[in-house]
Amino acid sequence: MSVNRREFLKKSISFGACSVAAASGLLSAESANAEWVAENFAPSILEETLKNLFKDQKLIETDKINIKIPKIAENGAVVPITVTSSLDGIENISILVEKNPVPLAARFDLSPELEPFVSARLKMAETSDVIVIAQTGNNLYSARETVKVTIGGCGG
């Protein structure tokens, strides 16, 4: 009896390991380009998120990123944002809300077939800066805009 039990345990463990490997293999194959990284979307402060995303690379402030967002948002649950830029060769655009529990809202990896143009709708917990970071080659450019929120968007 005891041998059977041991063998059963062994088998179940190896089976478990196999299925985990298969699952992770599938995941990486599906999202070859940009993988959803839990670290980037973990609740933290802005500086930590930036460090996770871009290591210690320097952000260059620029006026070539244009953020269209309301100065005053009546409802923090839906804040429309449109980002455009005159920079060449933008590979990705990240949108961060400084004071949200999870600062990174979204990251867009754009192919050269797309214009540097992205629209989305954000949730904002409170009045905060919205930061847009665009990556071109090895350079990181950033721009920010303050949005005053009169009703927070995190419910509760």
Residues that bind other proteins in the complex, under the rule CB under 8 A: 30-31, 33-37, 40-41, 77-80, 82, 97, 100-111, 113-115, 117-124, 153-156
Tokens of 22: 């298969």
| Residue 18 or 106 with smaller CB distance to other proteins | 106
* 26: enclosing H helix or E strand: helix 2-30
We find the least distance from the C-beta atom of residue 143 to other proteins, in angstroms, to be 18
Q: How far is the CB of 98 from other proteins (least distance, A)?
A: 11
For residue 127, count other CB atoms closer than 10 A to its CB. Answer: 16
Q: How far is CA 121 from CA 45, 69, 70, 105, 129, in A?
A: 21, 10, 11, 10, 15
Closer to other proteins at the Cβ: 103 or 142? 103
Of residues 14 and 70, the one with the C-beta less far from other proteins: 70
For residue 150, give every residue at least 6 positions away whose Cβ sits within 8 Å of its Cβ, in sequence order, or none. 72, 73, 74, 75, 76
Between residues 40 and 62, which has the closer beta carbon with respect to other proteins?
A: 40
* Rg of the chain on CA atoms, in Å: 21
Which two three-digit tokens encode residue 32?
Answer: 């070859």
Token pair for 156: 């509760």
Backbone angles phi, psi at 54, to 5 degrees: -125, 15
As measured in angstroms, the least distance from the Cβ of 106 to other proteins is 4
> How far apart are CB 100 and other proteins at their closest, in Å?
5
- CB closer to other proteins, 3 vs 113: 113
Least spacing, CB of residue 72 vs other proteins, in Å: 17
